[in-house]
Structure 1
Amino acid sequence: MSSPGTENVVIVGAGIIGVATAYHLSLLSPTTTIHLVEAAPTLFHSASGKAAGFLARGWFAPASAALGALSFDLHRKLAAEHGGGKAWAYSPSTAYSISDAQAPESAERGEDWLFQGTSRALMAGGGAQQRSGAPEWLAVGRAGETSGVEKISDPSGTAQVDPLLLSQFLLDQARSRGVQLHHPATPTGVVTSPSNALTGLTIRTADGAEQTLPCDSLILTAGVWTPRVFSTLFPSSSTRLPITQLSGYSLVLRSPHWAEDPYTDDSPRTSHAAFTTDPAAGFSPEIFSRASGDIYLAGLNTTDVPVADVGAHVVPEPREIARLKDVAKKMLGTEQLDILSEGLCHRPVMPTGMPLLTALSEHQTGVVGKVWVSSGHGPWGISMSLGTGLVLAEMALGKAPSADVSQLCL
């Protein structure tokens, strides 16, 4: 129970956006009672635990550029203060664009690559920097090829993390400061006063019991499930959140050409990101090395996989995983690959390709109260997580946000 006069904030959705919000809110306002509600039986079961973990500072459209830069700087600061190199495999990264000679040139920029299947290297600020050799854990690097290889970002503007480890760290830190986690628990409705003011949130726990959490401020960060949560909590509202899914297949693997970092000092080695074009593959592969010794391969996306209930196990299509394995062997130049995991996760996207981060009005919800929503980050959820969490926390406390997100609204 909260003390009389204490502000009660409920965050629905304990993915990386939700736990980052709880982390910052508990730092900024230690006296605020914070509840974190997650319906999935397994924490970080979707993109928050299965994404690439690539971070960029300046690869964003103008509307989200300030948020992207803020987030990148917060990632670097957090890692420096808490040993992120060891704790969640934070490392500076050098990014490359590797193009096939048969691939058509594209001058398109903006966020359309999300839905067209092209490489997000198109968003690298300033375009290609210089012709360069690729890292030697890639086949083209060991072959000494430079044709079609361009360095598009250096460690000052890109980095890498293990998103699952980062998510767990943020949650552990938040809980150590008193944030209450309700898991698994499904939000079932809001409670209002006779004057229609928001006063509580009802949840159903795993044993079927109903519980009411005091709630003065409500923050929705449920990823691709956010529209369903909104409709459940505000059934009379005519507002619809236009968030859909961009599902992505991935592999996490080990190669003899990229060994685990022994962490002999406090300066993590530089990891790498390679954004490629491969007409034979039929998609634009993205491959990332991590300081942990893992290699992450993705880029094979689809909008055809339906979104089941939150927490439902999603089984990757074997034929699509086989395509990724073929690309891995080609790009890494070896058959000696240890496949650690095969993944398929839903990433929330907006029609604009940019995230949603906004307050919802009484007209939109049908109740009097403070409600915020953030979702739709697409493949940039990990990169933008810390800035999104900070801005949401600041908004909930009535503070000026640290980044201009005025265009990230409905």
Structure 2
Amino acid sequence: MSPPVAAPSNILIIGGGIAGVSTAYFLACHPLRSASTKITLVEGTKVAAAASGKSGGFLAKDWHGSATADLSAMSYDLHKNLAEEFGGKENWGYRTVDTLSIETDATRKSKRSSPLKWLPEGLVHSSRSLGSHTTTAQVHPGQFTEFFSSKFLEKPSTSLIIGQATSLSLKDDGSPKSVGVNKKHGSDSDSEKSSEDQHIEVDADVVVLAAGPWTGSLADKLLGNKIGGRLGVTGHRAHSVVLRTKEELSATCLFTSMTMADGSAGEPEVYARPDGGCGAGDDEPLPPTAAHVKPSASAIKKLHGQAQSLSPVFTQDQNVEVVAEQACYLPIADRGRPLVGKVRGVEGVYIGSGLSCWGITQGPGTGKVLAEMILDGKAKSADVSKLAP
């Protein structure tokens, strides 16, 4: 029989995206959490500032490799359960969807019927189902993350600090003692570090690294290259435009292969959320913080052109509203699969990062299993053994 897990006194999670917020929430409401355990969430800019606020919010239950299949299926079902418990349809746009792969070619007319009424006849040359209402869904990820951040802060002995984690102090036994944070003051949390910032030491005997694409550089800074260097996570930039159409679109997500009228090609993904969305990726070096992420004007222009080529509902003639033109960085682990679990070589440090394009699907499940590892001593809800850092 395993010995009981010693209850931590101070748990600190670094990163206010979906993985970090989910970890904080599931720790705060875990039945084994001691009433005296303090839980602190540290975020550099604002909750859901990066991909968790700007991605398409697509969820898939069974599209995953063997290493992440169990986590993904559990987390997909967890999304459904949370939506039923907390009114996800109203509070963060949860809904199940059909998902199609389509090929379009504007240079030649197709004889196939359009698979959707909002796609023009003669444009779609092939179409096949990738997922149904039982296997694919969507959320507004920013609204989800903000909602559960608020739920976390409703629990006793919880707090959110806006600031940059800068250092990790260890006890004599090598476990965490405190984390140094440059705490942001004032209302402009996206500004550069100023004289108003205050350096504080936050007590922490357990630390969770969940800083998305910045996790790799953070781990190197806090843990040193010998340990932190093994936790390589960086970012790949993805662009999106959010368009609000006059016509209500069907609950359908599209993975496309497009040929435009000028012969140019593209593969944008279209997420017909209640608030719209269209996205594609490119690459540029990861900036220092989420506040420094800027979209490429040419990439945004290309997305608008692709959207307009796909359907007239995305044109100014149909009074489309441009809600957002944006970019974010997907967290990519160097080893090609996520890092979820206890960090080897140092006691009391955990990581949940590198979820790539599946961060929204896997985020709640990642938070749940990390909470179990910390308070139960092992992951109970999903097999994440192949994701051990």
Q: TM-score, normalised to structure 1's length?
A: 0.81
Whether 1:251 and 2:246 are equivalent positions in the alignment is no
Q: Which runs of structure 1 show a deviation greater than 6 angstroms over 4 or more consecutive aligned residues?
A: none
CA distance in 1, matches of 2:222, 2:106: 51
Q: TM-score, normalised to structure 2's length?
A: 0.86
Whether 1:87 and 2:100 are equivalent positions in the alignment is no
Name the residue aligned to 2:100.
Answer: 96
**Which letter maps to 2:238?**
G
More displaced, 62-71 or 278-287? 278-287
Any idea what SS the aligned residue of 2:352 has?
strand
Name the residue aligned to 1:329.
Answer: 308
Does structure 1 retain, via aligned residues, the 8 Å contact 2:341–2:373?
no
Q: 1:187 to 1:64 in 2, by over 3 A?
A: same
Name the residue aligned to 1:272.
Answer: 252
**Which letter maps to 2:216?**
P
Name the residue aligned to 2:267.
Answer: 284
Does structure 2 retain, via aligned residues, the 8 Å contact 1:30–1:177?
no
More displaced, 191-200 or 169-178? 191-200
CA distance in 1, matches of 2:19, 2:116: 32
Name the residue aligned to 2:191.
Answer: none
Instruction: Map 1:2-401 onto structure 2 (within 5 A).
Output: 7-28=9-30, 29-31=32-34, 32-40=37-45, 42-100=46-104, 134-137=115-118, 139-140=119-120, 143=121, 147-178=125-156, 180-206=158-184, 207-235=196-224, 237-240=226-229, 241-258=231-248, 271-280=251-260, 281-290=264-273, 292=274, 294-298=275-279, 300-303=280-283, 305-334=284-313, 335=315, 336=318, 337-362=320-345, 367=346, 369-397=347-375, 398-401=377-380
CA distance in 2, matches of 1:151, 1:236: 45
CA distance in 1, matches of 2:227, 2:81: 41
**Which letter maps to 1:378?**
S
CA distance in 2, matches of 1:287, 1:183: 35
Deviations 1:352-377 (A, max 9, x none): 54322121122xxxx4x211112111
Any idea what SS the aligned residue of 1:403 has?
coil
CA distance in 2, matches of 1:133, 1:75: 31
Does structure 2 retain, via aligned residues, the 8 Å contact 1:133–1:150?
no
The percentage of aligned residue pairs carrying the same residue is 31
Q: 1:175 to 1:198 in 2, by over 3 A?
A: same
CA distance in 2, matches of 1:192, 1:352: 28
Any idea what SS the aligned residue of 1:257 has?
coil
Unaligned runs of 5+ in 2: 1-5, 185-195
Name the residue aligned to 1:267.
Answer: none
Aligned-pair CA distance for 1:10? 0.8
Aligned-pair CA distance for 1:90? 0.5
Name the residue aligned to 2:190.
Answer: none
Q: Give the number of equivalent residue pairs.
A: 357
Does structure 2 retain, via aligned residues, the 8 Å contact 1:160–1:271?
no
**Which letter maps to 1:213?**
V
CA distance in 2, matches of 1:361, 1:37: 23
Any idea what SS the aligned residue of 1:400 has?
coil
CA distance in 1, matches of 2:90, 2:135: 20
Any idea what SS the aligned residue of 1:19 has?
helix
Q: 1:323 to 1:145 in 2, by over 3 A?
A: closer
Aligned-pair CA distance for 1:279? 4.3
Q: 1:81 to 1:199 in 2, by over 3 A?
A: same
Any idea what SS the aligned residue of 1:85 has?
helix
Any idea what SS the aligned residue of 1:226 has?
helix
Q: 1:279 to 1:350 in 2, by over 3 A?
A: farther
CA distance in 2, matches of 1:5, 1:353: 33
Aligned-pair CA distance for 1:314? 2.1
Any idea what SS the aligned residue of 2:349 has?
strand
Please provide the CA RMSD for this pair. Answer: 2.3
Any idea what SS the aligned residue of 1:235 has?
helix
CA distance in 2, matches of 1:236, 1:196: 16
